[in-house]
Amino acid sequence: MTIASITQLICFVALSATLVLGALGVVLLPNIVYSAFLLGGVFLSVAGLYLLLNASFVAAAQVLVYVGAVNVLILFAIMLVNKKENLAAIPGLGLRRLLSGAVCGGLFLLLIRVAFTTPWALPGPEAVGEEATIRIGEHLFSDYLLPFELASVLLLMSMIGAIVLARRDVLSSDVITGEAVDQGLIEKERTPLLLENSPR
Amino acid sequence: MFLLGALSSVADAIGSGAGTGGLNLQLNAGAIAPEAAVLIALLTCLLVDLAGEKAASRWVPPICYAGLGSALVLLALQWNTPDLQPAFVGSFLADNLAIAFRAVVAASTLISLLLSWRYVEQSGTPVGEYAGILLAATLGAMFLCGATDLVTIFVSLETLSVSSYLLAGYMKRDARSSEAALKYLLVGSAAAAVFLYGASLLYGLTGGATGLDAVALALRTSASPVTALALVFVLATVAFKIAAVPFHQWTPDVYEGSPTPVVAFLSVGSKAAGFALALRILVGCFESFDAQWKLLFTVLAVLSMVLGNVVALAQTSMKRMLAYSSIGQAGFVMIGLVCGTEDGFAAMVLYMAAYLFMNLGAFACIILFSLRTGSDRIADYAGLYQKDPLITLGLSLCLLSLGGIPPMLGFFGKIYLFFAGWADHQYLLVVVGLVTSVVSIYYYISVIKMMVVKEPQEASDVVKAYPAINWSVAGLPALRTALVGCVIVTAVGGILSNPLFTWASQAVTGTPMLVQAIG
């Protein structure tokens, strides 16, 4: 065993341990702020695993997109709406947790079993390393051109949708008839909800 | 067609320039010309919307009609292409199956938009963005129908789903709409993640290729446990998209909370795309696991038919009743999928086309009723015959057709499905289908009875205070056109259904993948 492979093994064990413990923390900790910060740690350790696999571009994208954008957004969202609220206790919470834990455990055992019984083609193809960006670019403009272009429609639509949901100026009257409107469903409910009485 | 194909000429130039080695990089961008028409309409809508709400409500409808109408014409021109070539280096295939389902999606969007204008304006939400998001959902669904590559499938699935979440929550001041959007988002994202997991397992099995033909090849040669796992994951996503029991829990809440025209689109367009995906992946790739997925789908179909139709009995809201009835209808369509014969596939296509007209016709009637009265409770329809014969007649015909009463279009679709199932010895499915059809006729007829049989003094308060019928407001004539059109096709289409049968069987025989599966 060379020094390089020992270092690689140590890095792998350390990253995996952070990943598994962090992921458990994200799910199990009661405080959502801790969960969000641990999620950032999980994303970073995944990026580390990509680096170990010699996929530097994916690792960089992982850090930029998930840690830099997604996780920061989650933290912002938590800090903006972080108010103490005593929610009503959910009946039978213990049983529900036990059941979902059993389902997840069963799925985990199934995945482990499948992973060990499948004859994987090992070792896989050689990592392209530094040439990854060139290869990705080639694919995006040849055989993955259609999904690449379609993704731009997806992003455009998400952006417009976010603006529609977030913007404050609303129409107060019907454009055609001039009647007052309330941006609700046409089918009115018989019993008004609490939300409708709250100040807008 | 050439002009619209030229839209992609920029992409074409890039594609042919990046030729690696001796690969034949023919883009065949003309295959997505209908989608290009929808995309142009989408962008024009968004640009017109910049000019203000008044201009938008004036100009967005004609733009949408033009875009979707030309998409339908372009689809008709693609029908029975003699020399079928994959487009975009194997990402997309415009075979007859794809064309038929894309036409169903585009037509369902067109009709949903005709139903939408008055609803959207009366609720005070912006029209331009609404049309834009609905067209984006259409674009995603249309690409999903023809996608032959795991990455394209995933991106188009997400385009459809994200737009659907946004549409479900479009009435953002209404708590029910927000609830619907949130539930749909959470369940839908979980389903997408499961699909991605399944797709990554398939990607690993092929050793680095994402095309569905490569996946099919890899699955034919290896029967490892990981394949079964991938099958289950992919199947769960398909079942979620077509709302098969037990992946249906989102349906009633989402249908109840979403704006009704959006529900009309979700129940037809989104479902058609889901069935196209099911055919492409299950029939095209998992043929070596035929027995397994057919067994799973038999279970799903029986559960959907039984639960959908039985729970619909207890509903008091029209939208919820149609939600459960659509679960049951999806169960009927699955009979054709399980058969796997030429008749089975043709019956699926035929029933989707019939379902398009009868379901959207029913939605047109309940949208018109709620526009006039602000209610969608079944009890409020009591005695409607006296005040509004058009809604009564239209809704009665469409519901009878959904139930499968003889002269209607739905009867011929259903009988073809049952015939195909019986010929393929799927006796359990056919018997369950017949019994649940009878159950469904019971709750459809009870709505009709509510409208027709009640005496004037027994009419509900809503009907007693029914407003004078007025078609002059902008948007209502479009709704009336859609309503009358759907009802006429539903009523007369059954008698003149021969062209539809020919169309459906051509959709199967013009699809290499299905011909091979029937083989």
Percent of chain A at pLDDT above 90? 54
C-beta of residue B289 within 8 angstroms of C-beta of residue B361:
no
Between CA B436 and CA A115 the distance in angstroms is 42
| Token pair 């896989």 in the structure block, residue | A124
Structure token digits, residue B131: 């049309």
Residue B3 confidence (pLDDT): 44
Give the pLDDT confidence of B311-346 residue by residue, as tens digits.
Answer: 999 999 999 999 999 999 999 999 999 998 999 999
Q: How confident is the model at residue B2 (pLDDT cuts 50, 70, 90)?
A: very low
H-state helical runs in B453-497 = 461-464, 476-492
C-beta of residue B488 within 8 angstroms of C-beta of residue B395:
no
Question: Which chain A residues are Cβ-neighbours of B14 within 8 angstroms?
Answer: 141, 145
- The helix (H) or strand (E) run that includes residue B168 is helix B150-168
Tell me the mean pLDDT in the region A23-40: 92
Between CA B175 and CA B178 the distance in angstroms is 5
Residue B66 confidence (pLDDT): 97
Question: Which chain A residues are Cβ-neighbours of B158 within 8 angstroms?
Answer: 154
Q: Of B54, B91, B462, which to mutate for an interface test with A (greatest number of A Cβ within 10 Å)? A: B91
Q: How confident is the model at residue B306 (pLDDT cuts 50, 70, 90)?
A: very high
Nearest CB among B87, B207, B225 relative to A114 is that of B225
Q: How far is CA B262 from CA B397, B425, B503, in A?
A: 22, 38, 28
Residue B487 confidence (pLDDT): 95
Pick from B194, B332, B163: nearest CA to B258: B163
Which residues in chain A (129-158) have CB-CB distances under 8 A to chain B?
Answer: 138, 141-147, 149-151, 153-154, 156-158
| Token pair 């359990």 in the structure block, residue | B428
Give the pLDDT confidence of A51-79 residue by residue, as tens digits.
Answer: 998 889 999 999 999 999 999 999 998 88
Structure token digits, residue B324: 């459960």
Residue A148 confidence (pLDDT): 94
Question: Which chain A residues are Cβ-neighbours of B17 within 8 angstroms?
Answer: 141
Residue B457 confidence (pLDDT): 85
Residue B73 confidence (pLDDT): 97
pLDDT at A192 over 70: no
The answer to which of B80-89, B111-120, B191-200 has the lowest mean pLDDT is: B80-89
| Token pair 């199932």 in the structure block, residue | B421
Residue A170 confidence (pLDDT): 66
Q: Of B49, B172, B232, B233, which to mutate for an interface test with A (greatest number of A Cβ within 10 Å)? A: B172
The answer to which of A72-86, B77-91, B117-131, B349-363 has the lowest mean pLDDT is: A72-86
Contact flag A141-B15 (C-beta cutoff 8 Å): yes
Give the pLDDT confidence of B237-251 residue by residue, as tens digits.
Answer: 999 999 998 999 999
Between CA B223 and CA A114 the distance in angstroms is 12
C-beta of residue B79 within 8 angstroms of C-beta of residue B99:
yes
pLDDT at A32 over 60: yes
Residue A190 confidence (pLDDT): 55
Pick from A92, A111, A113, A115: nearest CA to A103: A111
pLDDT at B295 over 70: yes
Query: Min CA distance, A157 vs chain B (Å)?
Result: 6
Q: What is the overall mean pLDDT for chain B?
A: 90
Q: Tell me whether the omega of the peptide bond preceding residue A123 falls within 30 degrees of 0, making it cis.
A: yes
Residue B494 confidence (pLDDT): 83
Q: Quick check: helix, strand or coil at residue A45? A: helix
Between CA B48 and CA A164 the distance in angstroms is 16
Tell me the mean pLDDT in the region B73-86: 90
Between CA B410 and CA B435 the distance in angstroms is 16
pLDDT at B362 over 50: yes
Residue B25 confidence (pLDDT): 61
Q: Tell me whether the omega of the peptide bond preceding residue B225 falls within 30 degrees of 0, making it cis.
A: no
Q: How confident is the model at residue A40 (pLDDT cuts 50, 70, 90)?
A: very high
Residue B364 confidence (pLDDT): 96
C-beta of residue A136 within 8 angstroms of C-beta of residue A57:
yes
| Token pair 């689109």 in the structure block, residue | B265
- Amino acid at position B483, single letter: L
The DSSP bridge partners found for residue B147 are B92
Give the pLDDT confidence of B438-463 residue by residue, as tens digits.
Answer: 999 999 999 999 999 888 888 888 88
Between CA B352 and CA B272 the distance in angstroms is 7
pLDDT at B303 over 50: yes
Residue A169 confidence (pLDDT): 65
Question: Which chain B residues are Cβ-neighbours of A182 within 8 angstroms?
Answer: 123-124, 173
Contact flag B169-A165 (C-beta cutoff 8 Å): yes
Q: How far is CA A26 from CA A23, A71, A84, A191, B24, in A?
A: 5, 12, 20, 38, 48
Q: Quick check: helix, strand or coil at residue B87? A: strand
| ipTM value | 0.89
Pick from B360, B352, B340: nearest CA to B503: B352
pLDDT at B49 over 50: yes
Q: What is the pTM of this model?
A: 0.92
Contact flag A142-B20 (C-beta cutoff 8 Å): yes
Between A105 and A191, name the one with better pLDDT: A105
Residue A123 confidence (pLDDT): 74
Residue B166 confidence (pLDDT): 95
Whether A97 and chain B come into contact, CB under 8 Å, resolves to no
Give the pLDDT confidence of A117-162 residue by residue, as tens digits.
Answer: 887 777 777 888 888 899 999 999 988 999 999 999 999 999 999 9
pLDDT at B209 over 70: yes
Percent of chain B at pLDDT above 70? 95
Between CA A36 and CA B53 the distance in angstroms is 40
pLDDT at B106 over 50: yes
Give the pLDDT confidence of B143-192 residue by residue, as tens digits.
Answer: 999 999 999 999 999 999 999 999 999 988 888 999 999 999 999 999 99
Contact flag A142-B121 (C-beta cutoff 8 Å): no
